[in-house]
Chains A and B, each alone.
Chain A
Amino acid sequence: GENVEQHPSTLSVQEGDSAVIKCTYSDSASNYFPWYKQELGKRPQLIIDIRSNVGEKKDQRIAVTLNKTAKHFSLHITETQPEDSAVYFCAASLNYGGATNKLIFGTGTLLAVQP
């Protein structure tokens, strides 16, 4: 089955700096890669996702890159702000529109943006 590794487990940056979180996956058939932000005690919020037919996607200060050959994908946050502080999870899913497209989550990265 799919296995997703995520690094680093904690990341501290100064406000305004960039943050990069990296994930690797094991199943080459996985084709959907979402990133979630989770604040303490809250639900995960989708912040950006990418499908395997795209190498990069950007939404304002957030971007995701995907390297299918190496089976890794990364989240890039630029101009970080204190409100970006949270736990970020990557995930991978094999999506074929079938009954089960389960998400396998990475271990999470605690991002702390220091003002």
Chain B
Amino acid sequence: GAVVSQHPSWVICKSGTSVKIECRSLDFQATTMFWYRQFPKQSLMLMATSNEGSKATYEQGVEKDKFLINHASLTLSTLTVTSAHPEDSSFYICSARTSGGVEQYFGPGTRLTVT
């Protein structure tokens, strides 16, 4: 149980275009989902926390107009990278947690390359 999927697993896009990444909890309801970014040989950096039905809370330094997060249902959250640039190339990982739960269940990650 507690499986989280992400789609796509990798994507290449051109500079200036937008990319949407989906995060799904397959066998549980995720009231809270988290989005992380991980650059090569670095740690996971929390970008934002999203709660179902409400606006996401962004970490300091993360542009909310650039990284659009939608958590429209208890099983789906999306991250849209708008007007992507090469410096946005990274490994994006989501995680999900149940209401009142402690453990976060991580998705497999999405490798984004912006050319």
By a beta-carbon cutoff of 8 Å, the part of chain A in contact with chain B is 32, 34, 41-46, 49, 51, 89, 93, 95, 97, 99-108
Q: Using Cβ atoms and an 8 Å threshold, which residues of chain B touch A51?
A: 102
Whether B100 pairs with A41 at a CB distance below 8 angstroms is no
Contact residue among B44, B102, B109 (Cβ-Cβ distance under 8 Å from A89): B44
Give the dominant DSSP class at A's interface: loop
Measured CA separation A103–B44 after assembly (Å): 10
Instruction: Identify the 9 closest CB pairs spanning chains A and B, nearest first.
Output: A43-B106, A105-B43, A97-B100, A105-B44, A43-B108, A107-B43, A108-B43, A100-B49, A99-B51
Q: Can you list 7 contacts pairing A with B, beta carbon distance less than 8 Å?
A: A34-B103, A41-B109, A46-B103, A101-B102, A102-B46, A106-B43, A107-B43
CB nearest neighbor in B for A106: B43
B111 within 8 A of A: yes
By a beta-carbon cutoff of 8 Å, the part of chain B in contact with chain A is 31-32, 34, 42-46, 49, 51, 57, 91, 93, 97, 100, 102-104, 106-109, 111
Q: Using Cβ atoms and an 8 Å threshold, which residues of chain A touch B91?
A: 41
Q: Using Cβ atoms and an 8 Å threshold, which residues of chain B touch A105?
A: 43-46
Q: How many A-B residue pairs have CB under 8 A?
A: 52
Q: Using Cβ atoms and an 8 Å threshold, which residues of chain B touch A103?
A: 34, 46, 104
CB nearest neighbor in B for A89: B43
Given A43-B108, A46-B103, A95-B102, 20 more A-B residue pairs with CB atoms under 8 Å apart are A41-B91, A41-B109, A43-B106, A43-B109, A44-B106, A49-B103, A89-B44, A93-B102, A97-B100, A99-B49, A100-B32, A100-B51, A100-B57, A102-B49, A103-B46, A103-B104, A104-B46, A106-B43, A107-B42, A107-B43
